[in-house]
Structure 1
Amino acid sequence: MPRFSIVIPVFKVQGYLHECLDSVLGQSFRDIEVIAVDDCSPDACGAIIDEYAARDARVEAVHLPENVGLGRARNAGLRHARGDYVLFLDSDDAYAPGLLQALADRLDAVGELDILVFDHVRTHWYGKGPRSQTADLVARAGTDVFRIEDRPEFIELFLVAWNKAFRREFFLKEGFQYAPGLYEDAPVSHLAMVTAERIGCLDRVGVEYRQRRHGAITKTPGRRHFDIFAQYEGLFAALAERPGLAWAQRLLFERAMDHMLFVIKRPDRVQAGDRKEFFALTADFYAKHVPAGFTPPGGAVGAAMRALAKRSFSTYRAAEFAVRVRRRGPKKVVRITDAASRRASAGLYTVHRRRPLDPDLAVYTSYGNGLPSCNPLAVFEKARELAPRVRGVWLVREELAPEVPEGIDHVVHGSRRYWEVMARATHFVSNGDFPDGIVKRPGQVYTQTHHGTPLKRMGLDRKAHPAAARNIDFGRLLERVDQWDLSVSANQHSTAQWERVYPGAFESLATGYPRNDRYYTAGAEDVAAARDRLGIPAGKTALLYAPTHRDYRKEWTPPFDPARLAEALGEDFVLLVRPHRLDSGSPLPAELAGHDRVIDVSRHPSVEELCLAADALVTDYSSVVFDYANLDRPIVVHADDWETYSHVRGVTFDLLSGLPGDTPGPVTATEEELADVFLSGRWRGPEATALRAAFRERFCQYDDGHAAERVVRRLFLSQDPGPAPVPLAERTPAPAPGTA
């Protein structure tokens, strides 16, 4: 029987679940069981906990047939618990290192406790806050063991489910159950604290309590916050059934009123139009349960309670206003500092924003208003086929306008028509950011397509990596994220990363990357034509070398000599060299001019065409590796600076681990090793084939040739995106050049 059972109810937290589970399973204290309860989550949470259960015997995955809510999911997990103590952890939070060992040490030192309480910190996107408001109370307890009747001040501890270890026999004997609805942990926590005979505190931060920007129930205003009344009615009904707890009624009445008054004044919980009704129900509760001889405390809470006793909403509002005035201090002058907002509120843009939105107008942009490319271009082309009524207009930089292909409508930033299309378009499709100075109007829909699967750290994760965070305003980044409505994803890894590092209210679309459709729709003629355009001689083996950008280097130089490698490989090989777009200023392409077996493709407009033409890919940490894997052709990872890159830029998994699903093929670190991989034939041997198959299984989940169609149907036709992706074994990628 394990020492601790940790029950984790799971619902729509795929971006945070790995961190939560890792924080528990990575604890130094190992005598635990983890009961992860999938509360019929509509995302990939169920699959994630199944993966953990498959590789760690301490994890039990429980799948509920229907969504029952946080409280009842805890109850379901409790039924599977076998430990001496049971702890509840919310699946978007995390344990601090060493917590469980510290709990075990305290219990060993003082003997069995009914409840052992520990502290927490709130974690925000910008960092961790200080310890909780009751940290001093936790510290004051020291190693004392007490009852609330003897130490009533400890009822003010932060009473939630996840900052306590409960003795399981005590919890079950008392029949504690979490009720459905919001604020489900308050009645159980209060009742358990006043019932327990032996309570202790651990002066240690145990939980990192995530303050989510979007999606947290407690920060979503609405009628669900009226659940608090039923929860506290349940608590007082339980008190009435336990005459031995009559002493606790006054104590818990004050806690209940304090909690209700806290909720009513929060605009992120109770909407303005509901406040009067919420106040009336609070006054009803006050009148029903106020203990005989009760005297309200002093201060703002006491003033609010006296207003409740009078049932005077106007008195309550006056008292609340007085408190706000005192706290606000002298009136402050609000300064407008956003120059972009000033520009956006004047001139043509303001005029056009008074006009109605055009439901058939869509604006596209890729790579900072570059030429049409990537996922937005694939969506644009599919929309012309399936939704021809939608007029697509591209945003491009002025210097690129002459290069826009014929037949593609476009506007230049700052032009008269630019302000019109930005003001009136209903749809925005981008793989990056739209320009500053644009105010998203109600009814406008922003689809973020992204432009790769994240091996490197992105979004808020870059804060921990100075080289990657240079010149990034993370507050502004999140303002941009708040504009997103839809986020396109190629695999579950990407979905979880985007939702975690770009916390927002957007909807994730498991459609696949539209740009990768071409790897399934292209035929032998397309492959041959691509090779002809690139000048690849017939019968030659073409290797595409496509490295990624290094934030910590001023300019890019390849880790090997392409010309010398081509000579070593011999006449049967041709090397296509494609630097990252951020390294377009490298002098290497000019140096390679005229070499008959090295082709500079740095200016080629389509990475997809380069991939179709190549027999194999040589890369390092570029996201092209995930796209190219769709073709089921050999991949070689040339990584000469993995340790530096993984520490300076940060990575989401170990590409070089050699484990199936992590590493797509042979790995080299020197020019000699790279040449040997091809000369020996290992690049396409059975081991490389097996690694590639596992990599495709993990990262090519949704790409099947129909991604653009799914996006168009969801975005422009208001239809279901369509059936699930074709199983990997049933997909037919474009033929390899040799077979073509």
Structure 2
Amino acid sequence: MQPGEEVLISIVLPVYQVQEYLPECLDSVLGASQSFQGIEVVAVDDCSPDASGALLDEYAARDQRLRVVHLPQNVGLGRARGEGLARARGDYVWFVDSDDRLADGALAAVAERLKRTEPDVLLVDHALLYPEGDLERNVRAHLFRDTPETFTLAERPATMDLVMTAWSRVLRRDFLLGLDVEFGHGYYEDISVTYPTLLAARRLSLLDRVCYHYRRGRQGAITNTSSPKHFDLFGQYERIFAFIDREAETAEPFRRAVFDRTVRHATTVLATPGLVPEDMRREFFRQTSDHFRRFRPRDYSHPSGLRGLQYRLVERGAYSAYAALEPVNRLRLALRTALGRARRTARRAPRLVATALRRAYYRACLLLPVDDSLAVYAAYWNRGYACNPAAVYEKARELAPGIRGVWVVAKDRAGSIPPGVEYVVDGSARCLRTMARAKYLVNNVNFPYELPKRRGAVLVQTQHGTPLKKMGTDLRDHPAAARGMNFDRLVEQCGRWDFLVSPNPHTTEVFTRVYPGGYEVLETGYPRVDRLVNASLDEVNRVRDELGIAPGQTAVLYAPTHRDHQDQAAPLLDVRRFADQLGDDHVLLVRAHYFDSPRTVPSRNVVDVSSHPSIEDLSIAADVLVTDYSSVMFDYAALDRPIVIYAPDWETYRRARGVYFDLLAEAPGAVATTQEELAEVFLSGEYTGPHMTKRRSGFRARFCPYDDGHAAERVVRRVFLGEPADQNGPVQAGS
């Protein structure tokens, strides 16, 4: 959005302790899933103690439609919304919660309706987003159907039955500001705005489309948090009735409907287990009763049935009788919740049934005799033949030919398995039978939790990198990176390991703490690094020829890591421009992380090698490595070639992901934090200077002490041949 360009919709985004969900929210608003561009996002960092503020700044640096306000102290959700509204420029304002997300295409659909009808309030439909990823459309979706494009509340009073949340409506900004209302403080802060805007609107519109995904079951949400703040409900409704008194001409006809929702809201909060603290329930009921008698309309009559009985007891202040009815009311709520779960389970039934059948078949196969000569290998969640397991497999074929190796691979990656390597397709009956019977299991990640290791089998966990970033149980304090990790399950899986392969003492110290278990640590070095250490000049030249690297060209391998705290991270390096800055005597090999989609457009001196099957081959072909926080730097250091660290978002990454040491202070070579600095590092020749050689030497001494080209052999001799771990031990780097 250029300065002065028309803004139709201002999205106000209050942010507090949501670093786990914030990237998904921002991507849903600013990303490619939204085609409409006439927006601005005013994000209000409510003095959030996590990395949310830094994430906002990082996004704002890449997208000028996002403006960030950092509040010096926490003011709460209502006031944070007010701060955002005061800075909004759009014709309309949409208050989005930063732990939710917009549906694909929602902005274009909303913009089209706003332009065509010019309503005071546009209400949009939503779907509930559950922790397992399921979406369930609003149960009152029928109210959006068969409605005129604009209407008044008097013409369609059933509109009052829709949710009264700030995120469920898009408001004309001038209309909102003219009402002289503001969001309340504490819990239920939005109803002091959503009710008045609905009551006062002269033009309403309903959009029969799911535009918003509301996250259910989030830890810390007020809908599942026990707190005295639930008493805030009464003050918020007092503000609504004060508005009705002030704007009686337009709002008075709806007093009864508002009152009914008030009592329904209060009794639902009281009936929901775990919300009002047990020792405060009687007082909450007393205030509900006082509220009832104070605001009851003259013409009010009680509803029928159980609800009517509840209301009469509330009006009388008869807590004991009301409490006696609570088991019945709670049963009603529980049944409603159970029915919702049943509906969601029914939609997932085919998947659940298939999983149950696979699990049952696998457990039946565990009753078959173990095959002492069978080893199962896998890497990177069955993406193919790679990494430490591949190096162990190759050495086992040489030193332990009696062991038959079989790879587990995803169906769509089966074509990547080299000729002559036996494999089974993940999830197939043959795969399950093979895994169940195998004596040895080798993987660089965990095998599926649902397929436990058979008794007497040997599981070798090779891992796939030296830890710079926080790992394992250390991620409890970094939810943006953990992404809902089940730590109890992780610890249980660590208990299945028999061996853990470690490349250096630093990794041993970290992994034995964050992956607790009774396994034996094999301080052998990483088997995959053998390829680098043992590569001959002929092999280097062959790989360079295959990649099209001309004789005399300097090959620069750019291999950034994945940003766990972002769903769709924007490129931090303009590779085309960087290649032009380097000149024709350089070629840039760009390797995207396997979690990220390649975005490189090949050109004369830029080669996209993201799909190349071997990072080891790419490493031996490269004259210099440029990376940020990827573990490839620790492997590449074994080659004793220049390494350049390009870290434009170090502070954000360090806060969001957590790290074990300061990479910028202990780098293996030159450091750049901007693209211009990176280009200068190369153009000046700084990256090859003696100071960088000294840095690299210290880095290698710490992280490459076992890289002598025999790591795979040591693993095979210990695991498959049963030789003592200290036999033919590793040499120190440089010896």
TM-score, structure 1 length as denominator?
0.55
Distance, in Å, in 1 between the alignment partners of 2:62 and 2:186 is: 34
Equivalent AA in structure 2 for residue 498 of structure 1: A
Q: How does 1:240-279 map to 2 (within 5 A)?
A: 240-244=245-249, 245-279=251-285
1:498 aligns with 2:482: yes
Q: Does 1:318 align with 2:324?
A: yes
Answering whether residue 528 of structure 2 is matched by residue 546 of structure 1, we say yes
Matching of residue 134 in structure 1 with residue 116 in structure 2 = no
Deviation digits for residues 527-571 of structure 1, max 9, x if unmatched?
xxxxxx999xxxxxxx96539xxxxxxxxxx9xx88994473589
| Kept after mapping to 2: 8 A contact 1:138/1:201 | yes
Given candidates 229, 233, 242, the residue that maps to 1:224 is 229
Partner of 2:153: 148
Contact preservation (8 Å) 1:123, 1:210: yes
Structure 1 residue corresponding to 2:81, chosen from 64, 70, 74: 74
| Cα 1:562/1:691, change in 2 over 3 Å | closer
Using a 3 Å threshold, how does the CA distance of structure 1 residues 40 and 502 change in structure 2: closer, same or farther?
Answer: farther
Distance in 2 of aligned mates of 1:704 and 1:195: 47
C-alpha deviation, 1:691, in angstroms: 5.5
SS at structure 2 position matched to 1:692: strand
> Is the contact made by 1:228 and 1:260 (CA closer than 8 Å) also made in structure 2?
yes
- In structure 1, the partner of 2:36 is 29
Alpha-carbon separation, structure 1, partners of 2:37 and 2:323: 53
Corresponding residue to 2:22 among 11, 17, 28: 17
Contact 2:558–2:590 (CA under 8 A) maintained in structure 1: no
The aligned amino acid for 1:79 is A
Listed one character per residue, the Cα deviations across residues 104-144 of structure 1 (whole Å, up to 9, x for unaligned) are: 222233x210000011111111232421122111224x234
In 1, distance between residues paired with 2:659 and 2:169?
A: 49
> Residues 121, 618 of structure 1: CA spacing in aligned structure 2 closer, same or farther, 3 A cutoff?
closer
Equivalent residue number for residue 416 of structure 1 = none
SS where residue 546 of structure 1 aligns? helix
Give 1:314's aligned amino acid: S
Aligned CA RMSD, in angstroms, stands at: 5.0
C-alpha distance in structure 2 between counterparts of 1:31 and 1:677, whole Å: 45
Contact 2:270-2:281 within 8 A present in 1 as well: yes
1:677–1:252 distance in 2 versus 1, CA, 3 Å: closer
Partner of 2:49: 42
For 1:86-125, what aligned pairs fall within 5 Å after superposition? 86-109=93-116, 111-125=117-131
Total equivalences in the alignment? 469
Output the CA distance in 2 between the equivalents of 1:703 and 1:35. Answer: 22
Amino acid at match of 1:253: F
1:729 match: 665
| Pair 313,487 (structure 1): closer, same or farther in 2 beyond 3 Å | farther
Query: Secondary structure, in 3 states, of the residue corresponding to 2:73?
Result: coil
Change (3 A) 1:231 1:99: same
What percentage of residue pairs aligned between the two structures are identical?
Answer: 33
Task: Give the Å deviation of 1:324.
Answer: 4.8
Cα deviations across residues 231-264 of structure 1 (Å, max 9, x unaligned)? 1111112222223122222221111111111111
The 8 Å contact of residues 213 and 503 in structure 1, kept in 2 or not, is answered as no
- Aligned residues of 2:272 and 2:330 also touching (Cα < 8 A): no
How far apart are the structure 1 equivalents of 2:60 and 2:476? 21
Equivalent position of 1:308 in the other structure? 314
* SS of match in other structure, 1:256: helix
Instruction: Tell whether 2:286 aligns with 1:280.
Output: yes
1:442 corresponding residue in structure 2: none
Are 1:568 and 2:509 matched, yes or no?
no
Give ranges in structure 1 of 5+ residues lacking alignment.
Answer: 333-454, 459-466, 473-485, 505-513, 523-532, 536-542, 548-557, 572-615, 624-636, 708-724
Does the CA-based 8 Å contact 2:627-2:644 persist in structure 1? Answer: no
**What is the letter of the counterpart of residue 292 of structure 1?**
R
Is it true that 1:681 corresponds to 2:623 in the alignment? Answer: yes
Pair 520,162 (structure 1): closer, same or farther in 2 beyond 3 Å? same
Where does residue 359 of structure 1 map in the other structure?
none
User: Residue 521 of structure 1 contacts residue 705 of structure 1 at CA under 8 Å; is this kept in 2?
Assistant: no
Q: What's the secondary structure of 2:301's corresponding residue?
A: coil
SS of aligned partner of 2:64: coil
1:502–1:94 Cα change, 3 Å: farther
TM-score when normalising by structure 2: 0.55
Match of 2:645 among 670, 674, 692: 692
Structure 2 unaligned segments of length 5 or more: list them: 1-5, 339-443, 453-470, 489-501, 511-521, 542-555, 564-587, 634-640, 668-694, 702-732
Task: Please give the residue correspondences for 1:351-362 in structure 2 after superposition, counting only pairs within 5 Å.
Answer: none
Q: CA deviation at 1:43?
A: 0.3
Give the superposition deviation at 1:293: 2.9
Per the TM alignment, residue 150 of structure 1 is displaced from its structure 2 partner at its CA by 3.1
Contact 2:51 2:652 in 1 (8 A): no
Pick from 62, 67, 87: which aligns with 2:69?
A: 62
CA deviation map 1:376-416 (0-9, x unaligned): xxxxxxxxxxxxxxxxxxxxxxxxxxxxxxxxxxxxxxxxx
Match of 1:464 in 2: none
Task: Assess, with a 3 A threshold, how the Cα gap between structure 1 residues 154 and 680 changes in structure 2: closer, same or farther.
Answer: closer
Q: Does 1:518 align with 2:506?
A: yes
Residues 287/246 of structure 1: CA separation in 2 closer, same or farther (3 Å cut): same
Q: Cα gap change, 1:700/1:28 in structure 2, threshold over 3 Å: closer, same or farther?
A: closer
| Kept in 2: contact 1:20–1:92 (CA 8 A) | yes
